[in-house]
Amino acid sequence: MKEELLAPISKRDVEKAYDLVIVGSGIAGLIAAYYAPKKSKIALFSKDALQESNTYYAQGGIAVALNPDDSPELHYKDTISVGAGFNEEKIVKIVVEEGIERVKDLIKMGIKFDKNNGLSFTREAAHSRRRIIHAHGDATGCEVATVLIEIIKQRDNIDIYENHMLLDILSNENKAYGATFLDVKTKKIKIFLSKYLILATGGAGQIYLHTTNPLTATGDGIAAAYRAGARVMDLEFYQFHPTSLDIDLTQRFLISEAVRGEGAYLLNSYGERFMLNYHPLAELAPRDIVTRAIFLEMLETQNKIYLDLRPIGERKIKERFPTIYKKCLEYGIDITRELVPVSPAAHYFMGGVETDEFGRTSLKNLYACGEVACTGLHGANRLASNSLLEGLVFGKRCIDAISNDNPSENNLNLKEFTLIKKEYPLEKIKEKMLHLKNVMWEKVGIMRDEENLNKAKDTIEKFLEEFQNIFINDKTFFEFKNMLLVSYLIVNSALLRKESRGSHFRIDYPTSKDEWKKHIIWEKEKEVIYCEINSLPSFKKNC
């Protein structure tokens, strides 16, 4: 799929030059900023306020093998098991081992994890040990983000740009040299030049009708990287969290997996515990299995599914899950006494911009970390609470790489780029965006098949053609374009993978096949690339 820049550019749009531009203010971007050399001139960009990220809303915690009865080897095995035999084993080993030191760094920074004669650990689905550390019960992400943001704000060498949406990564001869942003408040388009760029823009949950992701998660980083020529990988693997609060919200409220780790049960509308019918681990089965079980149970009963937290006990619920308790009360549900209606929602993108073990991408000077990146850690299905750990490890690893890599010098040739500017009713864009979200949910969601995937592809291609080379200076339009591109790549990947594996389930190909133990990789204007798992990144060899 050929895509040009989202917005027109000219030399007069250049605002400033930096040593390093970091895009994104979740844990990966903040950690990169924290470890970045203090002598470097750095810019940190966030699409909204700094705290508006998936990290901030993360409830469960950080998986780390610090419990006396745990080990990196056990953490490694659990990650591989849940990843459906699709993880990059070298990456898993790096994360479970280095993650221990990174978490210790967080504690030194002043982040207050819950304690009970030492760190307090909980268990989540598919973990063989209690290894998830948490803060303020169920507000881990909020604590981590808040402390990191305060530290970053005190750094004299870091300029912070809030309410700046990434539009495009500027590249020349396979080298990135800057990025274009929309100042959301003024609608001014700005160019920032940089020796290095780190993408930490998070996921793309808003392409689906139901998601736990904030409104900012529209796939901007993946789309911008692809347009610039970077390779993207494993886009068919999108994880749906089994238990979001079943109330119609643009951002679904997540009911943390930790509640099941502490003893909550899933019940159907007849009051029956049904998970043992689907997996011996019942409520603690891997997420993809729990999600599909809830989906099928809802279809069979034509009714709601509920979480019963009452076995946990009122006192423990209020101490361990204060955020969930208060939020549900806002909607008239007392989780200490009543059943909580839940349903699946799009939650985490295992796919993303292809990187090596230091966050390098196929574009020189461009690095990626966190959810926007695809390191291969998660395989086909993410183990609960491994995402914050990955952001921690790779945020620093990107900085380690930059400290050792010499920037590839660019023959800076910022060419004027024009687009047809059109007047188009914003309400019409919003209608089409809602249509896209419905199509993705119904036809490219928890259960997939060739007929529905092709119907989705047809719809997306019509939208892409309609808005080809059109420029509307509005954040909603730019988000819609990014959502279309990411959706197009997801659909094509899902069509190619003729098997079921992890979060990618095709009812017309319901089993996993060894011949499909290979990554599906896309590069702009190139044929699809297939690359065996547990090998070098595609851009470091011939796949």
Shared-domain flag, residues 53 and 108: yes
Cβ neighbour number for residue 413 with a 10 Å cutoff: 8
Shared-domain flag, residues 287 and 298: yes
Strand ranges (DSSP E) for 140-277? Answer: 158-161, 164-172, 175-183, 188-199, 232-233, 238-245, 265-267
Type and span of the H or E element at 374: strand 373-374
Cβ(137)–Cβ(394) below 8 Å: no
Looking at the chain, how many residues does it have? 543
Q: Which residues are catalytic?
A: 287
DSSP state for residue 258 in the 8-state scheme: H
The answer to whether residue 411 scores a pLDDT higher than 60 is no
Shared-domain flag, residues 200 and 253: no
pLDDT for the residue numbered 409: 66
**CA 125 and chain centroid, separation:** 19
pLDDT tens-digit readout, 495-531: 999 999 999 999 999 999 999 999 999 999 999 999 9
User: Is the four-CA dihedral 487, 179, 145, 361 of positive or negative sign?
Assistant: positive
Shared-domain flag, residues 156 and 290: no
Shared-domain flag, residues 329 and 358: no
Q: Is residue 540 part of a domain?
A: no
pLDDT tens-digit readout, 70-113: 999 999 999 999 999 999 999 999 999 999 999 999 999 999 99
Residues with Cβ within 8 Å of residue 264, at least 6 apart in sequence: 283, 307, 308, 309, 311, 312
Shared-domain flag, residues 336 and 210: no
Residue 412: pLDDT band by 50, 70, 90 thresholds? Answer: low
Cβ(72)–Cβ(188) below 8 Å: no
pLDDT for the residue numbered 152: 96
Shared-domain flag, residues 258 and 282: yes
Q: Is residue 452 part of a domain?
A: no
Mean pLDDT of 407-427: 73
pLDDT for the residue numbered 424: 83
pTM of the model: 0.95
Q: Is residue 411 part of a domain?
A: no
The answer to whether residue 337 scores a pLDDT higher than 70 is yes
Q: Is residue 518 part of a domain?
A: no
∠ CA 355-220-437 to the nearest 5 degrees? 115
Closest CA to 21 of 49, 50, 47, 45: 45
Shared-domain flag, residues 100 and 83: yes
pLDDT tens-digit readout, 459-486: 999 999 999 888 899 999 999 999 999 9
Strand ranges (DSSP E) for 39-187? Answer: 42-45, 62-63, 121-122, 132-133, 158-161, 164-172, 175-183
Shared-domain flag, residues 293 and 399: no
Shared-domain flag, residues 389 and 332: no
Q: Is residue 424 part of a domain?
A: no
Q: Is residue 471 part of a domain?
A: no
CATH code of the domain covering residue 73: 3.50.50.60
Q: Write down which residue in 305, 329, 346 finishes a domain.
A: 346
Average predicted confidence (pLDDT) for the chain: 94
Number of domains, the chain: 2
Q: Is residue 340 part of a domain?
A: yes
Domain boundaries, position 45: 11-237+350-404
pLDDT for the residue numbered 10: 86
CATH code of the domain covering residue 261: 3.90.700.10
Q: Is residue 2 part of a domain?
A: no
Shared-domain flag, residues 94 and 194: yes
pLDDT for the residue numbered 264: 96
Shared-domain flag, residues 211 and 262: no
